[in-house]
Structure 1
Amino acid sequence: MNSVHLSVICMRNLPPLARLRTFEAAARLQSFALAAQELHLTASAISHQIRDLERYFGRALFERSHRQVRTTREGLRLFESLGRVFDALDAVCAEVQLPTQDEVLAVHCAPSLALKWLGPRLPTFLAQHPTINIRLTTGAEPVDLGVMRELDVALSYGAARQKAGLEVFSLGNERVVPLVSPQLVAPGESATEAIERLMLIDSQLSPVGWVDWFDGNGIVLPSRPRCSFDRAAMAIAAAVDGLGVALESTRLAGRELARGDLVVLEARGAKPIDRPLHFVSLRVSDRSRPPIAAFVDWVADQAKDR
């Protein structure tokens, strides 16, 4: 049996797409009646299609009560998975409708870098390359471009997957310093005194922590409660809101520093930490593709102004 024939058989074992679409609407709206209105069907038709799906899967997808429905645990799992599938289908259909000269560039980026650095700069790139359509996704974990062929370029935080066939380079050293709202610093107070007094904010995923800063400057780390966040952007926002002092990259906090929302606490004799934190990955075989080359070269150029 050849692979084409096998693929057709596998496809035939899937439930009809229309049934899955009906289920998605009913689960999202938690109502057969509302799903019927959205899909221009009768409530009876919705109920019939859902029962067909439940027979197919051999388990209940909804808990039914008087005029109310609620997804079961299995139904919720199906709904969450279908959401990702339908989002991908929407993206594919949108790409097919693009003008033939347009190209799609799939970029995966660390969340805080996307929010604080890449996103604000993208209008400049798109103005220079009007036929390139950026499809941006985010995630904290470095992705494997050798496996995830649907992605073209990855910008990762902390580390990047090193693998044969991939080109990986850093966006250069970033300065990691104590950042605080100027309103928290008392008149005449030294930076050292402020750091010893204020709440210290941790970034859980950062490869540079307060222990590194205190050890590097020969200062004892205070043994008091600290707040922590799993995104650098959240730690920066907390510092702006006056929660305490965040140890973060000036690249990520560039706009807050420029606006005066944050200032650098430069303790006397303290040494800033400079090291590469963000990395670009792409497949070597894709390096000559015009949209990828244009984007990667542009990102590298933007990073020179750290």
Structure 2
Amino acid sequence: MRKLPSLQALRAFEAAARLQSFLLAAAELHLTPSAISHQVRALEAHFGQQLFTRGNRRVELTDSGGRLLTMLSAAFDMIEEACRELAPKITTESLSVHCTPSFASKWLGPRLPAFMREYPGLTIRMSSSAEPVDLLKAAELDVAIAYGSVRRQAGVVIEALGAERIAPLASPKLIGKRFTRADIAKLTLIESKLNPLRWREWFTQNGLKMPESPQPSFDRAALVLAAAVDGLGVALESVRFAERELASGELVIVGDGLYTPIERETHFFCYRAADRSSQKIRHFHDWLLRESRGLSTDE
């Protein structure tokens, strides 16, 4: 039988000696300072000598206390390592996601911290480009989020991420207080080259004549929105991409309520049919649909 003092007392001493404070030791071990002091005094009684010299606000080790701390620290390190080796290993796996740069930066990226909190064992490895990818040839990818028109192909499952509103967006500095339906034709129209809805179609659906003035264009939604924030003109873009700018007041929906609301399915979740049973893809799929439809995990 081992002749050892109380393990609880040894833990209290080690924490107080390492932190040089009964108060800090109490916080670390979830005890009261008086409990730490009681344990240390019991240990000193066991050894028949002082381990600390006590001051008003701090404690200092005696020579005997220093020697005990050195040996205890090594012993506790060995115990901790033995427990770590036997503890269950945390396994992680990765999910390779491909999408457009604007979707990554304007919508998906800001939401990934929430996904990581919900699925801490799943790491997202994201790549982006404006060009579509063929999942049957890109074996390194697990899923793709396609934008615009999607070519259906055997062996690939394609699911729309819900309809999203496409509306004219501009800095509030450009919009007068008495804005009328016809006033939009007086603004510089910024063309989003990859957006499937173009200004000419928007004007036609609203029964307005398209102006013949020059239209600056950009091949990224993020650039289109940045130009609109800077006051270059009015952008025709997905409200999904402009959440932060609308929330901060940097952008407003031009003539909200004056024009025909237009919604389109423009983003699509794609994965190989052979991976239908993959749990990691299912987790990401379900989370993505909840986010795109504005649902909480309680719904």
TM range (shorter): 0.5 to 0.7
Contact 1:181-1:242 within 8 A present in 2 as well: yes
Corresponding residue for residue 150 of structure 2:
160
User: TM-score by structure 2 length?
Assistant: 0.66
The amino acid of 1:155's aligned partner reads I
Contact 1:191-1:268 within 8 A present in 2 as well: no
1:100, CA displacement in angstroms? 7.2
**Residue 295 (str. 1) matches residue 284 (str. 2):** yes
Corresponding residue for residue 259 of structure 1:
248
Q: How does 1:275-294 map to 2 (within 5 A)?
A: 275-294=264-283
Corresponding residue for residue 178 of structure 1:
168
1:103, CA displacement in angstroms? 0.4
Contact 1:159-1:279 within 8 A present in 2 as well: no
Corresponding residue for residue 243 of structure 1:
232
1:173, CA displacement in angstroms? 0.8
The amino acid of 2:125's aligned partner reads R
The amino acid of 1:122's aligned partner reads L
Contact 2:175-2:254 within 8 A present in 1 as well: no
Contact 1:165-1:283 within 8 A present in 2 as well: yes
Distance 1:114 1:187 in 2: 35
Contact 1:209-1:247 within 8 A present in 2 as well: yes
Which of 114, 119, 126 pairs up with 1:124? 114
CA deviations over 1:21-75 (Å, ceiling 9, x no partner): xxxxxxxxxxxxxxxxxxxxxxxxxxxxxxxxxxxxxxxxxxxxxxxxxxxxxxx
Corresponding residue for residue 262 of structure 2:
273
Gaps (5+ residues) in structure 1? 1-98
Distance 1:161 1:118 in 2: 23
Corresponding residue for residue 49 of structure 2:
none
1:186, CA displacement in angstroms? 2.3
Distance 1:213 1:115 in 2: 26
User: TM-score by structure 1 length?
Assistant: 0.65
Contact 1:181-1:263 within 8 A present in 2 as well: yes
Distance 1:268 1:164 in 2: 42
The amino acid of 2:195's aligned partner reads S
Contact 2:155-2:272 within 8 A present in 1 as well: yes
Runs of 4+ in 1 over 4 A off after TM superposition: none
CA deviations over 1:187-220 (Å, ceiling 9, x no partner): 3233531x12211000011110000110111111
Contact 1:153-1:292 within 8 A present in 2 as well: yes
The amino acid of 1:178's aligned partner reads P
Contact 1:106-1:135 within 8 A present in 2 as well: yes
The amino acid of 1:276's aligned partner reads E
Distance 2:137 2:282 in 1: 21
Corresponding residue for residue 91 of structure 2:
101
Which of 175, 181, 189 pairs up with 1:200? 189
Identity over aligned pairs, percent: 48
Distance 1:268 1:215 in 2: 17
Distance 2:127 2:96 in 1: 8
Q: How does 1:29-178 map to 2 (within 5 A)?
A: 101-178=91-168
Distance 1:267 1:233 in 2: 22
Distance 2:130 2:218 in 1: 13
Contact 1:141-1:156 within 8 A present in 2 as well: no
What is the root-mean-square deviation in Å for CA atoms of aligned residues?
A: 1.6
Distance 1:160 1:111 in 2: 17
The amino acid of 1:211's aligned partner reads R
Distance 1:120 1:172 in 2: 19
